[in-house]
């Protein structure tokens, strides 16, 4: 050993036994944390003194794990967004599960790189994709990939669709100055914001994205879609892909996916479905009819971290035609040679299906969730959430100081507090204030949207911990805070 070299070090613990003991304590604490979540406020703001404490310089010198863990429990753990709480219904966030937490621990202990290779994690991801394809009614051989979330999944789906239907080799030529027809994508005006980013990134641009108007139930107007496709063809543009929604972000509307599938088939267009949360409604027997046609999509993007209750991140892209999927993302790099045997067997299997080369072990939490809960659990709990949404909508309809602002086809309820004599603008301000109070008092976390220009308190239920009484409490609280803020003096219930 050369005497002038510093001693070699590793980043493993110097004392494995005290590490083990602290690890056990952390696990114990987290189990208690999950078990007692209902007893805490849904949310509280990060106090200024905590922000100040976290505003530290780069820690050049080591600190004991125990000290760092204490800081975590004091300064970080008490200030979550709140999405694991039974009364969190903001945006479309998921709750996660205790089994999912353990799976994440196991996955990060193994810490595999899942771009491919001959390893258990790769076998498991392919199995999980096959299960998900089967559950949603896609044929054997459907291709797919676990990704960060529906934004990425939808981007990948549209990329495959663009390349498959462009009529020229987009990968070789690019879109810039190609001299080819402008490529057009169609989606309802209720489609989530991922689509504008996707069109930017795919070179389609905002000009290539046609927003199609919706009917009063917030589903795409098929005749308007057909007209837009016709007009574009007549003007020399090239219609390429249609995006259908299974569960729109505002109200949870599901387009007539069977009609869209038929239309795309007849017109030679790629049919992509954004099923971010709504796709999994197809697993609930009572809700499946509304999602019919989803299984005919060329590609579908959805999340398991929303209505599948799996911890973040767990997005999924399925593509019916594996060749088209690989044709969009496949690459051959000499330094990633497929040896046919050994570790480097199919080293790029997953990397050739998306944009990530280095990727983690997302499959384990999905595999463990499905095996421990049973696949039918998703449909049951999703149906429970839809029953809760209907219960809340009923309460709103019955209360003269509350108003339902949109239909409730699935799990999203848009409501507002109202008082006679107040204008829409005054009601917007009042309801905005009610929403903030609900959040800041830690009672519940809905989010907001605008329905026909009016401010709505929006309750999106993708939460396996919510119970009917949580929604009764929400109704009582909205009314009580509304009266309080409006200065109404009444003792009426
Ligand atoms: C309908 C819809 N599509 C896409 C997305 C984007 O999903 P993610 O946040 O997983 O990227 C969302 C997110 O709420 C959504 O509701």
Given a cut of 60, whether residue 161 has pLDDT beyond it is yes
The alpha carbon of 150 and the centre of ligand 1 are apart by a number of angstroms equal to 5
Residue 68's Cβ-count burial label (10 Å; 0-12, 13-18, 19+) is exposed
Supply the pLDDT for residue 176.
72
Least confident span in 3-12, 13-22, 24-33, 80-89: 3-12
Mean pLDDT of 340-363: 92
Given a cut of 90, whether residue 301 has pLDDT beyond it is yes
275 lines ligand 1 (CB under 6 A): no
Determine which residue's CA is closest to atom 13 belonging to ligand 1: 92
The alpha carbon of 405 and the centre of ligand 1 are apart by a number of angstroms equal to 22
- The whole-angstrom separation of Cα 349 and Cα 360 is 14
Mean pLDDT of 185-191: 98
Given a cut of 50, whether residue 482 has pLDDT beyond it is yes
Residue carrying structure tokens 């309750």? 459
Supply the pLDDT for residue 372.
98
- The whole-angstrom separation of Cα 83 and Cα 352 is 34
The alpha carbon of 149 and the centre of ligand 1 are apart by a number of angstroms equal to 7
The alpha carbon of 151 and the centre of ligand 1 are apart by a number of angstroms equal to 6
Residue carrying structure tokens 């200030």? 79
Supply the pLDDT for residue 312.
98
What are residue 83's phi and psi, to 5 degrees? -65, -15
Q: Who's near 492: CB < 8 A, 6+ residues apart?
A: none
Q: What is the pLDDT of residues 390-444, one digit of tens each?
A: 999 999 999 999 999 999 999 999 999 999 999 999 999 999 999 999 999 999 9
Supply the pLDDT for residue 334.
60
Given a cut of 80, whether residue 56 has pLDDT beyond it is yes
Atom of ligand 1 nearest to the CA of 305: 10
Atom of ligand 1 nearest to the CA of 154: 4
Given a cut of 90, whether residue 189 has pLDDT beyond it is yes
Mean pLDDT of 320-339: 86
What phi-psi label fits residue 247: left (phi over 0), alpha (psi between -120 and 50 degrees) or beta?
left
Atom of ligand 1 nearest to the CA of 303: 10
Atom of ligand 1 nearest to the CA of 153: 11
- The whole-angstrom separation of Cα 358 and Cα 114 is 7
pLDDT band at 455 (very low <50, low <70, confident <90, very high): very high
Strand ranges of the sheet holding 238-245, from the earlier edge strand across to the other edge: 143-147, 315-319, 299-303, 270-274, 238-245, 183-188, 209-212
303 lines ligand 1 (CB under 6 A): yes
Given a cut of 70, whether residue 256 has pLDDT beyond it is yes
150 lines ligand 1 (CB under 6 A): yes
Ranges of H-type helices in 237-359: 257-267, 322-329
- The whole-angstrom separation of Cα 362 and Cα 466 is 26
194 lines ligand 1 (CB under 6 A): yes
149 lines ligand 1 (CB under 6 A): yes
The alpha carbon of 211 and the centre of ligand 1 are apart by a number of angstroms equal to 18
pLDDT band at 182 (very low <50, low <70, confident <90, very high): very high
Q: Residues 262, 288: contact at Cβ < 8 Å? A: no
Mean pLDDT of 119-143: 97
Residue carrying structure tokens 């990968």? 171
Supply the pLDDT for residue 344.
87
Supply the pLDDT for residue 178.
67
- The whole-angstrom separation of Cα 344 and Cα 355 is 20
End-to-end CA distance of the chain: 82
What are residue 334's phi and psi, to 5 degrees? -65, -30
Q: Who's near 330: CB < 8 A, 6+ residues apart?
A: 348, 352
Determine which residue's CA is closest to atom 14 belonging to ligand 1: 92
pLDDT band at 2 (very low <50, low <70, confident <90, very high): low
Determine which residue's CA is closest to atom 10 belonging to ligand 1: 149
Determine which residue's CA is closest to atom 1 belonging to ligand 1: 249
276 lines ligand 1 (CB under 6 A): yes
Supply the pLDDT for residue 493.
41
Mean pLDDT of 241-270: 98
Q: What is the pLDDT of residues 331-350, one digit of tens each?
A: 876 666 787 888 988 888 99
Q: Residues 411, 478: contact at Cβ < 8 Å? A: no
pLDDT band at 490 (very low <50, low <70, confident <90, very high): low
Helix (H, G, I), strand (E, B) or coil at 250: coil
Please give the C-alpha separations between residue 454 and each of 61, 274, 399, 415, 451, in angstroms, as whole numbers: 54, 26, 19, 10, 5
Residue carrying structure tokens 């209907």? 390
What are residue 143's phi and psi, to 5 degrees? -90, 160
Supply the pLDDT for residue 335.
64
Given a cut of 70, whether residue 324 has pLDDT beyond it is yes
Tokens standing for residue 347: 């080293």
Determine which residue's CA is closest to atom 12 belonging to ligand 1: 276
DSSP 370-390: HHHH-THHHHHHHHHHHHHHH
Atom of ligand 1 nearest to the CA of 91: 14
Atom of ligand 1 nearest to the CA of 245: 1
Residue to substitute in 90, 150, 281 for testing ligand 1 pocket (most ligand atoms within 8 angstroms of CB): 150
The alpha carbon of 38 and the centre of ligand 1 are apart by a number of angstroms equal to 26
Strands (E) across 246-394 are located at 270-274, 299-303, 315-319
Determine which residue's CA is closest to atom 7 belonging to ligand 1: 150
The alpha carbon of 390 and the centre of ligand 1 are apart by a number of angstroms equal to 22
Tokens standing for residue 400: 């003269």
Taking the model in full, what pTM does it have? 0.96
Residue 23's Cβ-count burial label (10 Å; 0-12, 13-18, 19+) is middle
């Amino acid at each position: 050993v050369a005497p002038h070299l510093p001693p070699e070090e590793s980043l493993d613990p110097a004392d494995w036994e005290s590490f083990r003991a602290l690890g056990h304590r952390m696990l114990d604490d987290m189990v208690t944390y999950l078990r007692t979540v209902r007893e805490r406020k849904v949310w509280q703001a990060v106090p200024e003194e905590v922000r100040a404490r976290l505003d530290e310089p780069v820690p050049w010198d080591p600190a004991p794990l125990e000290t760092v863990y204490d800081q975590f429990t004091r300064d970080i753990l008490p200030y979550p967004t709140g999405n694991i709480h039974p009364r969190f219904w903001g945006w479309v966030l998921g709750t996660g599960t205790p089994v999912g937490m353990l799976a994440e621990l196991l996955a990060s202990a193994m810490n595999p790189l899942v771009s491919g290779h001959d390893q258990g994690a790769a076998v498991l991801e392919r199995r999980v994709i096959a299960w998900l394809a089967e559950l949603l009614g896609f044929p054997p051989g459907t291709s797919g990939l676990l990704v960060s979330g529906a934004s990425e999944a939808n981007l990948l789906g549209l990329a495959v669709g663009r390349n498959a239907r462009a009529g020229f080799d987009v990968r070789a030529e690019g879109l810039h100055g190609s001299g080819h027809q402008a490529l057009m994508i169609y989606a309802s005006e209720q489609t989530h914001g991922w689509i504008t980013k996707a069109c930017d990134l795919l070179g389609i641009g905002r000009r290539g994205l046609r927003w199609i108007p919706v009917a009063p139930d917030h589903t795409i107007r098929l005749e308007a879609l057909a007209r837009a496709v016709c007009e574009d063809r007549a003007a020399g543009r090239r219609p390429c892909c249609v995006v259908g929604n299974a569960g729109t972000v505002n109200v949870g509307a599901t387009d007539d996916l069977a009609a869209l599938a038929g239309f795309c088939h007849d017109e030679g267009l790629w049919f992509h479905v954004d099923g971010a949360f709504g796709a999994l409604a197809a697993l609930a027997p009572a809700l499946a009819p509304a999602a019919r046609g989803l299984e005919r999509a060329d590609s579908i993007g959805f999340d398991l971290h929303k209505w599948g209750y799996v911890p973040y991140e767990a997005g999924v892209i399925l593509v019916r035609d594996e060749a088209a999927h690989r044709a969009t993302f496949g690459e051959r790099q000499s330094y990633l040679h497929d040896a046919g045997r050994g570790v480097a067997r199919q080293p790029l299997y997953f990397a050739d299906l998306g944009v990530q080369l280095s990727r983690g072990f997302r499959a384990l939490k999905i595999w463990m969730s499905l095996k421990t809960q049973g696949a039918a659990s998703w449909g049951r709990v999703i149906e429970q959430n839809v029953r809760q949404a209907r219960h809340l909508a009923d309460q709103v309809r019955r209360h003269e100081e509350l108003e339902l602002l949109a239909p409730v086809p699935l799990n999203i309820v848009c409501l507002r507090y109202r008082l006679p004599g107040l204008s829409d603008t005054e009601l917007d301000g009042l309801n905005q204030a009610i929403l903030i109070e609900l959040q800041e008092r830690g009672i519940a976390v809905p989010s907001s949207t605008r329905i026909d220009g009016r401010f709505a308190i929006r309750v999106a239920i993708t939460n396996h911990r919510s119970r009917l009484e949580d929604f009764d409490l929400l109704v009582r609280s909205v009314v009580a805070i509304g009266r309080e803020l409006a200065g109404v003096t009444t003792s009426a219930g």
